[in-house]
Amino acid sequence: MNDDQLLRYSRHIMLDEIGIEGQERILEANILVIGAGGLGSPAAMYLASAGVGHIMLVDDDDVDLTNLQRQVMHTTARVGQKKAQSGRDALLQINPDIEVSAICERVGDERLAELVRGATVVLDCTDNFKTRHAVNRACFAAKVPLVSGAVIRFDGQVSVYDPRSDGSPCYSCLFPQDQNFEDVACSTMGVFAPLVGVVGAMQAAEALKLVTGIGTSLAGRLLLLDGRAMEWTSIQVGKNPACAVCG
């Protein structure tokens, strides 16, 4: 690290669990963030400020005025711009020393598999089960850890699915891909804006823990947040032997 990096990341370096070696791992990391909306915004912004060397931001949507209530990576001036491009601009303003790839496409299975194989950690910041299951399958196949978050109305959840560990469940263990779960859209149900910030920031924290190897990840635990009571519930989850993906 050069002198500017030592200064920029000094508060991380001061932590014994991270130090210079851990910060160098962050600088060398390649993190794939799928979704540049409510969850992807705070997650990507914290990853950028922490110095993740390469952030791949995937989203094919455009910035809409209705997004700005919660998608803090975007601005009024960038309404109509591709979210991935808007996000790249925001992240480089936070930290111009990192690399950000704006991938403005709805990635199919083959392209998704390619992106996942090149990642250190994957963050699922999407809002539909079909995409979440596709990301889960790609991460399991490539043995790349997945940090998954979701928020609707006043409720949030976050967990880690780490296929590097034989005992860790995958997303499909909890939400089987052959079952019909109803997608609930923010446009019809609403979402309490600060909660996406809370869950997105936790996704970034779990990703950085995985990169640096510190602490214990959320693998095997599902955290549920009730935003009305501001209460967390931790549920132990195990591998499903009959899972169609990892069983």
Catalytic residues: 186
The β-bridge relationship of strands 146-152 and 121-124 is parallel
Separation in Å, CA 109 to CA 89, 106, 131, 155 = 27, 10, 10, 29
The continuous run of DSSP H or E covering 234 comes out as strand 231-236
Reading the block at residue 17, the tokens are 């669990």
Residue 151 and residue 129: Cα distance in Å, rounded? Answer: 13
Cα gap 98→233, rounded to integer Å: 36
Task: Indicate the DSSP class of residue 150.
Answer: E
Q: How many CB atoms lie under 10 A from the CB of residue 234?
A: 11
